[in-house]
Structure 1
Amino acid sequence: MNEYKVKGLTCANCTRELQEEINKLPSGETASLSYNTGKLKLASTIDMKKVNKILSSDGAYIENVEEEGHNHEHHTGVNWIALLSISVFFYIAAFITEQWINEYVAIGLFLAATALSGYQTFFKGLKNLLKLKFNIETLMTIALIGALSIGEWKEGALVAILFGLNEYLEGLGMQKARKSMEKLLEIAPKEATILENGHERIVKIASLEVNQIVLVRAGEKIPSDGIVIEGKSSVNEAAITGESMPVEKAIDEPVYGGSINNEGVLKVKITKAYEDSSLAKILHLVEEAQETKTPTELFINKFAKYYTPLIMVISVIVMVLPPLLFNGSWGDWFYQGLAVLIVGCPCALVLSSPIAIVSGITKNARNGILIKGGVFLEQLGKITTIAFDKTGTLTKGEPYVEDLVAYDPTFLQIAASIEKSSSHPIAKAVIREAEGLPLDEPDEISTVSGSGIIAKMKGVTYYLGNESHVNHLKITEKVKQDLIDFKESGMTLVILANESNVLGIMGISDQVREESAAVIANLHSAGINNTIMLTGDHEKTADKVAKKVGLTSFFASLLPDEKVAKIKELSKNEKVAMVGDGINDAPALATADLGIAMGKGTDSAIETADIVLMQDHLGKLPSAIRSAKKVNSIIKLNITLALGLKLIALLLTIPGLLTLWIAILSDMGATILVTLISLTVLYEKKEKATM
């Protein structure tokens, strides 16, 4: 598939119709044209001349590569403003002339205003009329011809001007949302400075290869994912995580493409070609996200297909029935019928969803929340229950010494001395606890599988491990009670003993994240009814974590397939999201109505979930949910406004009060309101993460 950038798309409904025309061409079945992104995807075998002809019928065109980034006006922008300004001038001049000078001169000026602001619509409408294709241009053309034929010069001109302004404003709203998205996509670096044999060479980002060394100076963007091999600096990772606080980077630490080196010079060894980097994947998914259609959008598009023909039938009924059955004036009801035709424009209705969706996806992407499509944004706003994995999600996934009892003052020093050569997570927790103490080197050390370590230091034999490791000892009542207390608290036991006595006990726990309790409280206030933890840990540990963070319930001792079964059970009555780290929670993430992964740009997180929190914490999840709920509320409001204003206009036909300019204003008002309300998502004040 080839991808092209299309300029001059006037409205969502017109874009849909253009795509349908292209789909009818040979090799055009798979073609897609997105109003949201302004992108056209085509099979390489399609006839481009025919594609260009279809696009040009609506004033759209494929942008040349050389034009990209330049301000070419062509069919939009300044031309429209100039034409509309001149048309308004002619209209005012005609209005004054009609009152004070000459009626025929005024008619000429009204016609000039109509022609200037409505000629594109008129020619498109005539072509469509010949093809029996009834869209907004066709309806407007019929209405204009009808108005002029019965001598409504003034109203015809006003309708043409207002429709032209409406089309311009409609395009402007989507353009604003697109520009915000394009600004987000501009964070990708364009060039990199590579080092070869001590010489610097600037290359295009696409040509970067794995294992090349790049030089990143202060203020420059890191070109792709890599590892620091020389230098030390703070790096702004906002492009990846949405968090502006700099992160300190030193040798052997990973860096992400698109992040900015704040000071100093870094030498980075590239570990991924740019197209495989976290940033490239994020930007690609954000672009794709704009093109997905939500169930609401699909329904609106389907409804719009039937809406216009229905309005045409109503228009004919309004023109014919009152004169035939109620002795109404043919001229008056013909005029009313023309006004009804204008109400047939579905543009404001079709626009009610895409600007809000694109704005929501863009806002969240800037905030480090990657939503893979409008359908997932919509779904996020409907979630009532969130299930969390424990390890690495609500907790840090790093064991730490929560409590200890020392029966001998040398207990901690001896335990850390035995553990210092081990890379086991529990050993690291013990060493961290003993930080600052002088450690000795064991004379002998051996591991007993499943229970612990036997070590000799200074002629004394020590046993370090779990309860079974010290069953050769006669345990005192005091030690027995302490062991019970530690286990009751849900801690993992590490016991140190010599050949005759227990020297001390440590209780090891997985440390709860500082922000977890605040996040859970924030989620409840954001409208989430149930927060549930699914964990493989035993009951007491799960109960302890659940109480500490404020969860509504938990399920412990679950195997991966049991987590999936529990998600299925919960999903029967609730809309359920599953939050995990995207690595070992993949089955549960895929089973839930919505999978949310956290992982600071890890490949597995990006690929597994529907939504990715690019930070390594849950702090921004409540913000994402509130944003999604707001988008859903705005879409409902937009649909109500778009249909409500048209319904009011149609009801005005009953007393015969509907005029051409009221009809066009009903659509114009809906378009302006829908656009402005949708853009409030984009400019909503950025929420701080719960930390």
Structure 2
Amino acid sequence: MPDTHEWLVTGMDCPSCAAKIKGAVGQLPGIETVEISVMSRKLRVTATAHATLPADIESRVKSLGYGIEAIAQAGGVPNPHTEADEHATQADAPWYRTGKGHLVLLTAALLSVAWGLALLLPASGNWPFIVACLAGLIPIALRAFAAIRAGQPFSIEALMTIAATGALFIGAAQEAALVVFLFAVGELLEGVAVSHARDGIRALSTLVPKTALREKNDMMEEVAAAELVPGDVVIVRPGDRIPADGKIISGTGGVDESPVTGESMPVTRGPGDPVFAGAINNETALRVQVTRAAADNTIARIIRLVEQAEDSRAPTQRFIDRFSRWYMPAIVVLSALVVAIPPLLFGQAWSVWVYRGLSLLLIGCPCALVISVPAAIASALYAGARHGLLMKGGAVIEATAAIKTVALDKTGTLTMGQPEVTDILCLDGSPAAEALVLAAAVEKASNHPLAQAIVRKAEGMVLPPVQDSRAIPGKGVSAVFDGQIVTVASPRHAMQDGALSSTAAAQATVLESEGKTVVVLYTSTALALIGLRDEPRQDAQETIRQLRSLGVTPIILTGDNQRTAEAIAGLLRTEYKAELLPEQKQQTIRELTARGPVMMVGDGINDAPALKQATVGVAIGSGTDVALETADAAILRNRITDIPALIRLARSTMGNIRQNVSIALGLKGIFLVTTIIGMTGLWLAIMADTGATVLVTLNALRLLRTNPAGLAQKA
């Protein structure tokens, strides 16, 4: 059986680092899979038992110049995220205590001494600069040789080593030392910039409290939250964070779920309601029964999904990765031609063209280009997660940005998913309140959604006593009140019982034409018509408006009857298709996709075929398994204006990527030309490379501050 091991890797600040480690480890014998995440810094390796020992993997990673520390074997700890976060916190020392920080300080000190000696003792020559150069170059060269041994000759460390060594040989010791220093500064800045992106995911993991008050044998004990198991009962005091996903047993009060869903307003939760780990109890003490272990709570699953999303690369990123594999060798060949052709064919000075060729090597490094896409994608994933928007990788983000049509399920998506009483028409002249309380008294024992809606409408009213309440299969509910049988049933059944006149039937038809379901309250004659409808969400019209402002066409797909669908579509002023079975929804999505990219939004259960058929399937729900795991993306807040927000975030991300690619290629293009014609030298070359990488990273990090809902006015 294969073994799986997991480590935390330090010093890894870009996709090139991850690719280097993955390639080196993958060459070891018996390795089956290698998974590595730049943002979480986790390395997970599955290998044939005893073919490659963990120590061999650690040795290979260390030889490349990275730190590595075992987290645990798969399944070895209750909550691997917690342990990884503890290791990560320890690894995030201040920059001046890191290896890269030490190298910057050392090269800066030696360079300052060299310049001081050059000013005070001009006769000292170049040896102080040579010493400064070598002190900084040796660690870089060791990493370059390790990469070459691992089968990766075209690394930035290799190009840097060749360029600095060549500069020493042609007598450009001052520039060589400065280049080594600037390279060290650039690597340090990359690490500092990327650490800001990592803070987003770490902030999520710290939302869950470390301890919990567990109820046991009528006593309370403080235990580690990671020890909680399904079935445990915990006490959550006002002001405390909920330590685990669970269900409220007793207590009712406001719960701030913004850490999980991004919803700013507290929601009232009471007995039977689910609650999330990390949510804040604002009011009364709650007794909560744990329903999920720590490793599987909503926060942990969000973290896991965001980390896994890094492996789902956007088509743009895959193209750039392929391009860079050809680009690096091409730059080396071009540099060699720049060095050789002018002296050999035109009698130019070797020293001049060797210098320009070495500068070209540094300019050609594709670091900024390679990091331009994943840095933006990672920032967008974390920004979305903070606002309850989950997208499973760069491919989903790129596809979402291109969406032309959004197909929306009606029930539970555009509507609240539960009927509400909208009309009470009394046919015998009695007050509407009397008809309502009588209907609620009859329906009280039924669990039918329509019956529950009537009972909810009568909440707070005194219901009259009824006897012999019973369901009439396929028809309705009846009970005895004041010696008479009172029934609540559909108009058709009321008419069959001879209780509904043609005039009342016409009134029922009018209500039904408005998309409402009608029930009749009757004895021997009809007493009242009650209209119910699954009303559109309050933000449904605003969602449709925002989608249209984005140039996206909305359409409603529903299994409901034609009249109900027509009424909702009329209110929202959008197209619709009704009475669709799941396979018909799937076929409709297939037809729409032929005209352009389509997003399907549904509850993730009945709409599963359509969600899978769409270019992007989006599940809407409050942190349920389905909402997190069924579709390509998920909206955790119960708010459908997050659908256009998702599209805006994706488009903003793709715009950021285009900016990054333009910065990376633009700067390199300018400096390639100026280097060949002799306008710029080694130190400006490395400044261009480092500067482009840092600019691209910082530009990508702007997405961390993005609030997709706040972009609505700019759409």
**Shorter-chain TM-score tier:** over 0.9
Does the CA contact (< 8 Å) of 1:9 and 1:58 recur in 2? Answer: no
**1-structure distance, mates of 2:193, 2:311:** 17
SS of alignment partner, residue 176 of structure 1: helix
Alignment correspondent of 1:466:
490
1:530 match? 553
Q: Is the 8 A contact 2:208 2:242 kept in 1?
A: no
2:492 partner amino acid = S
Cα deviation for residue 42 of structure 1 reads 1.4
Q: Secondary structure at the match of 1:69?
A: helix
d(CA) in 2 for partners of 1:330 and 1:545?
A: 79
* 1:30 Cα deviation after fit: 1.0
C-alpha distance 366-102 of structure 1, shift in aligned 2 (>3 A): same
Counterpart Cα distance in 2 of 1:161 and 1:517: 58
Q: Residue type of the partner of 1:295? A: P
Q: Does the aligned pair in 1 maintain the 2:95–2:101 contact within 8 Å?
A: no
Query: How much has 1:347 moved relative to structure 2?
Result: 1.2
1:486 aligns with 2:511: yes
Amino acid of the structure 2 residue aligned with 1:465: A
Q: What amino acid sits opposite 1:542 in the alignment? A: A
Paired with 1:219 and 1:448, the residues of 2 have a C-alpha distance of 49
Structure 1 residues 247 and 75, CA gap change in structure 2 (3 angstroms): closer
- Tell whether the 8 Å contact from 1:226 to 1:268 is kept in structure 2 after alignment: yes
Cα distance per residue 1:230-284 (max 9 Å; x no partner): 3444322223212232233333333222222234432222233333433332232
2:408 is matched with 388
Q: Distance in 2 between matches of 1:444 and 1:123?
A: 88
Flag the 1:74–1:429 CA change in 2: closer, same or farther, 3 A. Answer: closer
Deviates more, 1:184-193 or 1:667-676: 184-193
How far is 1:513 from its partner? 0.7
Cα deviation, residue 37, structure 1:
2.1
Per the TM alignment, residue 360 of structure 1 is displaced from its structure 2 partner at its CA by 0.9
Show the 5 A alignment for 1:617-632. Answer: 617-632=639-654
Contact 1:118 1:164 in 2 (8 A): no
CA contact (8 A) 2:136 2:180 kept: yes
Superposition deviation, residue 378 in structure 1: 2.7
Alignment of 1:495-506 (within 5 A): 495-499=520-524, 501-506=525-530
Are 1:84 and 1:116, in contact at CA under 8 Å, matched by a contact in 2? no
Greater shift in the superposed pair: 358-367 or 488-497 = 488-497
What secondary structure, in the 3-state scheme, does the structure 1 residue paired with 2:231 have?
A: coil
1:447–1:453 CA contact under 8 A, matched in 2: yes
SS in 2 for 1:43: strand
Q: How does 1:233-272 map to 2 (within 5 A)?
A: 233-272=253-292
Q: Give the partner amino acid of 1:207.
A: E
Query: In percent, how many aligned pairs have the same letter?
Result: 36
Shift of 1:638: 1.1
Residues 97-176 of structure 1 correspond to what in structure 2 (within 5 A)?
A: 97-98=117-118, 100-125=119-144, 133-176=153-196
Give the match's secondary structure for 1:652. helix
Greater Cα shift, 302-311 or 194-203: 194-203
* Alpha-carbon shift at residue 94 of structure 1 (Å): 4.0
By how many angstroms is 1:359 displaced?
1.1
CA distance, structure 2, for counterparts of residue 433 and residue 32 of structure 1: 54
**Residue type matched to 1:122 in 2?**
A
Deviations 1:356-390 (A, max 9, x none): 11111111111122223332233222222211110
What TM-score does the superposition give when structure 1 sets the normalisation length?
0.92
Distance in 2 between the 1:644 and 1:435 partners?
67
Report what 2:563 is aligned to: 540
SS in 1 for 2:381: helix
Tell me how far 1:615 sits from its aligned partner. 1.9
Q: Partners in 2 of 1:531 and 1:646 — Cα distance?
A: 43
SS of 1:63's partner is strand
2:441 to 410, 413, 417: 417
Q: Which residue of 1 aligns with 2:593?
A: 571
Superposition map of 1:308-327 within 5 A: 308-327=328-347
Deviations 1:58-102 (A, max 9, x none): 32021356965335759975553454345345445544654x544
Give 1:12 shift: 2.1
From 649, 652, 658, the equivalent of 2:671 is 649
Which among 307, 310, 315 is matched to residue 287 of structure 1?
307
Counterpart CA distance in 2 for 1:519 and 1:482 is 33
Counterpart among 37, 40, 51 of residue 37 in structure 1: 40
Residues 288, 13 of structure 1: alpha-carbon distance in 2 compared, 3 angstrom cutoff: same
- Distance in 2, Cα, partners of 1:412 & 1:235: 32
Of 476, 480, 485, the match for 1:452: 476
Q: Within 5 A, what are the aligned runs for 1:1-400?
A: 1-43=4-46, 45=49, 46-63=52-69, 69-70=89-90, 77-92=97-112, 94-95=114-115, 97-98=117-118, 100-125=119-144, 133-400=153-420
Q: Does 1:660 align with 2:663?
A: no
Alpha carbons of 1:266 and 1:443: their partners in 2 closer, same or farther (altered >3 Å)?
A: closer
> 8 Å contact 1:650–1:658 — kept in the other structure?
no
For the Cα contact (< 8 Å) 1:36–1:354, is it kept in 2?
Answer: no
Equivalent residues of 1:87, 1:112 under 8 A apart: no
Q: Which amino acid aligns with 1:427?
A: A
Pick which of 214-223 and 300-309 moved more.
Answer: 214-223
1:514-561 alpha-carbon deviations (Å, 9 max, x no partner) = 111112212322x2511111001122211221232343x111110111
| 2:637 corresponds to | 615
Tell me the residue number matched to 1:429: 453
CA-atom RMSD in angstroms? 2.7
Equivalent-residue separation in structure 1 for 2:330 and 2:381 (angstroms): 34
Query: Does the CA-based 8 Å contact 2:586-2:610 persist in structure 1?
Result: yes
Q: Using the TM superposition, give the Cα deviation of residue 563 of structure 1 relative to its aligned residue in structure 2, in angstroms.
A: 0.6
Report deviation, 1:592: 1.3
Alpha carbons of 1:349 and 1:138: their partners in 2 closer, same or farther (altered >3 Å)?
same
Distance 2:660 2:419 in 1: 50
1:606 aligns with 2:631: no
Give the match's secondary structure for 2:419.
strand
The residue identity in structure 1 corresponding to 2:491 is: E
Q: Structure 2: which 5+ residue stretches go unaligned?
A: 72-85
The Cα of 1:29 is off from its aligned counterpart by 3.6
CA gap of 1:18–1:228, structure 2 versus 1, over 3 A, is closer
Task: Describe the SS at the equivalent of 1:70.
Answer: helix
Alignment partners' CA distance in 2, 1:519 and 1:373: 24
> May I ask how many residue pairs the two structures share in their alignment?
686
Cα distance change, pair 89–550 in 1 and its aligned pair in 2 (3 A): farther
- Paired with 1:633 and 1:448, the residues of 2 have a C-alpha distance of 60
Indicate if the aligned counterparts of 1:59 and 1:75 stay in contact, CA closer than 8 A: no
Are residues 659 and 193 of structure 1, via their aligned partners in 2, closer, same or farther at CA, if it must alter by over 3 Å? Answer: same
Distance in 1 separating the partners of 2:312 and 2:632: 13
